Amino acid sequence: MKLIIGLTGKIGSGKSTVAQIFRELGAHIIDVDKIGHEVLQNQEVKNSLREIFGEVIFDGVNVDRKKLASIVFSDPKKLSILERITHPKMREKITEELNSLTGLIVIDAAILHRLKLEKLCDFVITVVAPMDKTVERLKQKGMNEDEIYRRLACQEDITDTEYVIVNDSDLSSLREKIKSFYNRVIKSKM
């Protein structure tokens, strides 16, 4: 038995916290950000990125993700180029991981639909949060307002799905919402 949930939401919505709560409830989590970081270690990917973006994005032999992010999140065309290079390799790794798992699986991916992963899911949950909470959370992670709004602008295509979890309070309240959703929706589908 396998139930695959896509978990999406904009940066700062609390999506990864929701994924962690699902992990506590026994789900396998596929962390797409982590897979994206791994793909940036692939020599073929590094060669393509070097060709397009130059040495400026490298810190020695590795891609400097902060330098790359500052370039791609300020130019949608460059973001699109990065995605054309990395997304096929990411989908391949995600599919391999999915094939090796059973039970409840959560694909934690902000850009789930851009990666065309929703097709692999039984259903998708979107985590949303009020803008002030989102900005506050991201500032606590060390981002400045300019960075925050540039990244959010690149995620305009992340929209609500059939299931929406509103993360507008504290962690214990969010945990209760997830447990309730798990008991009400997920158990009935397992």
For 22, 106, 109, the CA distances from 8, given in Å and listed in that order, are 13, 10, 5
pTM for this structure?
0.90
Rounded percentage of the chain residues whose pLDDT exceeds 70: 100
Read off the pLDDT of residues 152-163 as tens digits, 9 standing for 90 and up. Answer: 888 887 888 889
The mean pLDDT of 144-170, rounded to a whole number, is 87
Read off the pLDDT of residues 99-132 as tens digits, 9 standing for 90 and up. Answer: 999 999 999 999 999 999 999 999 999 999 999 9
Mean pLDDT over all residues of the chain? 93
Domain boundaries in the chain? 2-189
- The class of domain 2-189 in CATH terms is alpha beta
Distance between CA 49 and CA 63 in Å, rounded? Answer: 9
Read off the pLDDT of residues 171-182 as tens digits, 9 standing for 90 and up. Answer: 999 999 999 999
13 exposure class (CB count in 10 Å sphere: 0-12, 13-18, 19+): buried
